[in-house]
């Protein structure tokens, strides 16, 4: 069953064989029978696109929304390590089963066809029409990341995450400060757990977006307000910052402080006031920027007790 929401309203679409049921409470379910499963599937996808075009967002996935073919064990391995040899095997597997994404990835196609977007076919032209706002990034023929130059591209991004050609998409780089719409739309996305790496340097975005993605492992942020699963964090140290780490990072192992404008004494004070003892998994801290030798020594003395 596919579930879509818009504001406080919910609608579900469910196909069972040649029957299609659409239910938008409090109205009664609309039940329709078609000549065969293929016809019902075509109408299911057509209706889905109509709802998406009308401003609805998918909050629960359905088998009929998924790629033509899948290999869960291989896909899990590739999400851990995107190995070119294994990708070639995977592409051949998809080609043998009629999934157009296999051929597109094997040929390193970086201008997605309608077929590689599956149910999200209407998005293909949308993505092409906003190249300065939403820039897909490619790796071995698959969409692996997106640079969001304008957070108001939220609807396109929310749909893009569910496209078959984006099944290995794991990185987001977000520009801009006003990410309220983006965060709101992505919170309900069934695909948000795919995102493992996030870059958000604007303070409000850095404080708002990480919690949207429950499986983040790596992040480059302009502010650190806490996250349960981030293991590697690059923190942009701001001038006159009140603190370095404002939240809890129970899984954090590697912290990099990227230093810009703060004067040496201000940086040392920030480091001395940071409760590193609360970062229970921390093993390594690196400093990136122009820092005097004297300041480096003072900071390393402070960190030695927590990083060994």
- 116 in helix, strand or coil? helix
Residues spanned by the domain of 11: 2-64
**Same structural domain, 45 and 151:** no
pTM: 0.82
pLDDT band at 57; cut points 50, 70, 90: confident
Measure Cα distances from 293 to 201, 259, 290, 299, 307 in Å.
Answer: 27, 14, 10, 10, 19
pLDDT band at 253; cut points 50, 70, 90: very high
> Domain holding 26: CATH number?
2.20.140.10
Q: Is a pLDDT exceeding 80 seen at residue 11? A: yes
**Same structural domain, 13 and 156:** no
Please give the mean pLDDT across all residues of the chain.
85
CA distance 286 to 174: 24
Q: Is a pLDDT exceeding 70 seen at residue 258? A: yes
Residue 148 lies in a domain: yes
Query: Which one of 15, 49, 64 terminates a domain?
Result: 64
Residue 210 lies in a domain: yes
**Same structural domain, 60 and 143:** no
Q: 64-117: per-residue pLDDT in tens?
A: 777 888 999 999 999 999 999 999 999 999 999 988 889 989 988 766 666 677
In the prediction, which pLDDT does 89 show?
96
Residue 236 lies in a domain: yes
Look-up: residue for tokens 């033509």? 68
pLDDT band at 265; cut points 50, 70, 90: confident
**Same structural domain, 151 and 36:** no
Query: Computed from CA positions of residues 86, 92, 94, 96, in that sequence, does the dihedral angle turn out positive or negative?
Result: negative
């Amino acid at each position: 069953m596919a579930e879509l929401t818009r504001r406080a309203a919910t609608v579900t679409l469910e196909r069972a064989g040649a029957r299609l049921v659409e239910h938008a409470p409090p109205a009664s379910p609309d039940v329709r029978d078609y000549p065969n499963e293929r016809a019902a599937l075509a109408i299911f996808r057509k209706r889905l696109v109509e709802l998406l075009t009308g401003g609805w967002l998918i909050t629960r996935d359905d088998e009929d929304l998924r790629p033509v073919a899948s290999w869960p064990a291989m896909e899990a391995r590739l999400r851990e390590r995107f190995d070119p040899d294994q990708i070639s095997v995977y592409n051949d597997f998809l080609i043998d089963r009629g999934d157009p994404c296999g051929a597109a990835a094997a040929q390193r196609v970086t201008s997605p066809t309608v077929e590689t977007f599956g149910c999200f076919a209407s998005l293909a032209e949308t993505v092409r029409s906003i190249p300065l706002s939403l820039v897909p990034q490619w790796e071995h023929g698959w969409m692996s990341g997106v640079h969001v130059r304008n957070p108001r591209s939220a609807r396109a991004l929310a749909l893009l995450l569910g496209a078959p050609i984006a099944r290995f998409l794991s990185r987001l780089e977000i520009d801009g400060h006003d990410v309220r719409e983006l965060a709101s739309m992505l919170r309900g996305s069934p695909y948000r757990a795919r995102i493992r790496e996030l870059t958000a340097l604007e303070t409000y975005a850095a404080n708002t977006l990480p919690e949207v993605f429950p499986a983040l492992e790596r992040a480059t942020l302009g502010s650190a307000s806490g996250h349960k699963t981030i293991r590697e964090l690059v923190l942009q140290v701001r001038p006159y910052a009140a603190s370095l780490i404002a939240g809890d990072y129970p899984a954090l192992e590697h912290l990099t402080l990227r230093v810009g404008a703060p004067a040496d004494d201000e940086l040392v004070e920030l480091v001395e006031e940071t409760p590193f003892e609360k970062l229970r998994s921390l093993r390594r801290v690196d400093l990136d920027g122009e820092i005097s030798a004297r300041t480096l020594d003072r900071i390393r003395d402070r960190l030695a007790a927590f990083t060994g």
